[in-house]
Amino acid sequence: MSAGTARPKQDMPPKGGYGPIDYSRKLFARIKGKHILLPFIPFTGYCWWLICETKRYNRMHQLENAEANIALEPLIYAENDRLALKLFRQNCELEEDLMKDNPEWQVGTFYGEPIFYDTRDRGIQPNGYELFAHSNITAGLEIERKYFHKAQGAFFEQLTRRNPKPVPDE
């Protein structure tokens, strides 16, 4: 069979022709407002219920977190005091080593006057310059900012982290 002998098949309309074309206006092709509103009302009610339940759940957890903060506050203050006492002890040891050649020098005093006590013989909270007198000042101020300024701030976050960096005990 040669290429020139085959006749191509031509597309033709179906027998009897195509059906009539519908060009009339369809009045009910759109969805009516009441059909939109009917599912919207229960959906809105469900969303309001979900919002109220979420708020109740969040309030319950905020109350639980507040109670946990109140319960941990003495621990946080105790840890701050422990760190301060550790630094006081290190400062006293370094001051004693530094002033060992002066026999008149008393550790913790400035020419016989106590440094860390007021007139009523109560302890005071020293600032970072006094706490970190014998160490690198930038590291000392960073530790003071982290641990001493806000008891529930960065120190509480360090306690609650999954992998906290431990404070070195010396």
User: Is 40 a domain residue?
Assistant: no
Domain count, the chain: 1
- What pLDDT sits at residue 29? 65
Q: Cα–Cα distances in Å, from 89 out to 24, 99, 134?
A: 98, 15, 12
pLDDT in tens, the chain (170 residues): 555 677 778 888 888 888 888 888 777 667 777 888 888 889 999 999 999 999 999 999 999 999 998 999 999 888 888 887 888 888 888 888 888 898 888 887 877 777 766 667 666 666 766 777 666 667 666 766 666 655 444 444 544 454 445 555 54
CA angle 13, 15, 17 (to 5 degrees): 60
User: Is 36 a domain residue?
Assistant: no
CA torsion sign, 149 to 167 to 73 to 75?
negative
User: Is 35 a domain residue?
Assistant: no
Q: Which two tokens stand for residue 133?
A: 């007198």
Task: Look up the pTM and report it.
Answer: 0.45
- What pLDDT sits at residue 8? 77
- What pLDDT sits at residue 64? 94
- What pLDDT sits at residue 155? 47
Structural domain including 87 reads: 72-160
User: Is 112 a domain residue?
Assistant: yes
